[in-house]
Chain A
Amino acid sequence: DTEVTQTPKHLVMGMTNKKSLKCEQHMGHRAMYWYKQKAKKPPELMFVYSYEKLSINESVPSRFSPECPNSSLLNLHLHALQPEDSALYLCASSPPHWGIEAFFGQGTRLTVV
């Protein structure tokens, strides 16, 4: 299994809603990532988990809250988002250190209304 599975594929939420994005991989990768991608822009790193511990937070607003319950799962909890947070949210995984192929999920296309 060489897939990273993200759910849901599409999400529309209001600014007062709470929602969660989910990511799952069964490749035994011990590093997992959240990226945000706006239209016609490159992916921007948000968070990195290494061995289930948060190792990098790229100064992301607290309305985004990551969670890594175990080595196969990664969640991104969303609360009180703004319309400008609308984007494609990508999850990726790799062995613990960059330098080896990273696998990206298909992403969750988020619209905040």
Chain B
Amino acid sequence: GQQVMQIPQYQHVQEGEDFTTYCNSSTTLSNIQWYKQRPGGHPVFLIQLVKSGEVKKQKRLTFQFGEAKKNSSLHITATQTTDVGTYFCAGTGGGNKLTFGTGTQLKVEL
């Protein structure tokens, strides 16, 4: 079945440093979504990418979808303590089945 891996598993940064998480799927994806889950919370939708090579920005967050639609990345510029949480990519090969990546847990220290 479809597998979606993320690296790194954990990342500790100092506030103000940049952060990147990478997402790789074993199969081609129709689209990819990114979610953030705060400690003790539930996943919250951040963005969706659909087109090959697509790049989207949300303030300090930059999302990319690979040309082959099998990988994606999330980059955060100048992290803040409010960025703490686990970031999941999630992809569909089609239909209603969304497969979550393994997640990257981000900790930000002052």
Footprint of B on A, CB under 8 Å?
31, 33, 40-45, 48, 50, 55-56, 90, 96-107
Contacts of B95 in A (CB 8 A): 97-98
Number of interface residues of B (CB under 8 A): 22
Produce 1/0 per residue, B31-71, CB < 8 A to A: 10100000001111100101000000000000000000000
Q: Is the CB of B42 within 8 A of A90?
A: yes
Cα(A90)–Cα(B40), bound, Å: 12
Partner of A98 from the list B44, B98, B101 (CB cut-off 8 Å) is B98
Confirm or deny: B100 has a beta carbon within 8 angstroms of a beta carbon on chain A. Answer: yes
B91 to chain A, nearest CB (A): 9
Footprint of A on B, CB under 8 Å?
30-31, 33, 41-45, 48, 50, 88, 92, 95-103, 105
A-B contact count, CB below 8 Å? 56
**Dominant SS among interface residues on chain A:** loop
Q: Is the CB of A102 within 8 A of B97?
A: no
Given contacts A31-B96, A98-B31, A102-B33, contact A42 B101 (CB under 8 A): yes
Contacts of B30 in A (CB 8 A): 99
A11 to chain B, nearest CB (A): 16
Contacts of A106 in B (CB 8 A): 41-42
Cα(A22)–Cα(B103), bound, Å: 27
Cα(A107)–Cα(B48), bound, Å: 23
Partner of B88 from the list A42, A50, A101, A107 (CB cut-off 8 Å) is A42
Q: Is the CB of A101 within 8 A of B48?
A: yes
